[in-house]
Amino acid sequence: REHHAHAVACFADGDLLAVDDDDVAGLDRVDADELQHRVRDGRREFLQRQRNAMANLAADEAVGWFRRALDHAAALDRPDSERVELLVRLGEAEYRAGHPSGLDTLHHAASLAQRCDADHVLLRAALAIDPGWIIRFGRFAPQQLAIAEAAVARVGGRDTATRARVQALLAQSLVHTDHTERRTHAATAALELARDSADPGVIARVAPDVLMALWVPGTAQLRLAVAAEASAVVETLGDP
């Protein structure tokens, strides 16, 4: 019982889980109350430590916390719909820390999110990956395209900025293919959505993907215009 209580307490995350009846089954009242206290303490500790780690760019530390949480998720036999939330956060931390496993973890998270219909996790996993880096290491390109296509299919009526980023992701993910017309269409759609967004910084965010996607003969003037527009936004915002 002590091991079970410790696992629940360490795994509990206010953004992810709540303690349910199965967690306290078989415990007497004193043990159940103690479990609830440990869950609250564990939740605060976990959230604070992972926030501190990511805020301070200590991605390696965050990796350790998310791996620990996933181990407890397995011990408590949590459903995939809850595990996938942790998995994508682990992938983000691994990716930022430069771990070789980061891409595989994010791909796994995206795949699991599709099976769980966790569209918000799928989008988070897709947008966490830099497709330009993957294309330079070509074996990941087909997986990235599949994830980008799934993200486009699931983005729905979300905010304009997210839709712009997803279209830009698709555009760059098509660079390794011969689908020039489709790639150009996605890049153009990303630009239009970015311009419609209430956040002017979206233009600058999607510009690198759009410029790569538009890198075909006859688009030099368009690319210069996009680069100038993005540069002007960065200058105005004062955020390089």
Selection from 45, 44, 42, 62 nearest residue 53 by Cα: 62
Q: What whole-number distance in Å separates Cα of residue 123 and Cα of residue 54? A: 20
Least confidently predicted of 17-26, 36-45, 146-155, 230-239: 17-26
Q: How far apart are the first and last CA of the chain?
A: 53
User: How is residue 29 written in tokens?
Assistant: 């009242």
Portion of the chain with pLDDT greater than 70, in percent: 72
- Can you tell me whether residue 119 is helix, strand or coil? helix
Q: Is residue 94 predicted with pLDDT exceeding 70?
A: yes
Selection from 181, 157, 183, 156 nearest residue 168 by Cα: 183
Give 41-61 pLDDT, tens digit per residue: 555 555 555 555 555 557 788
- Mean pLDDT for 15-35 is 48
Give 203-232 pLDDT, tens digit per residue: 999 999 999 999 988 899 999 999 999 999
Residue in the structure block whose two tokens are 């540069």:
231
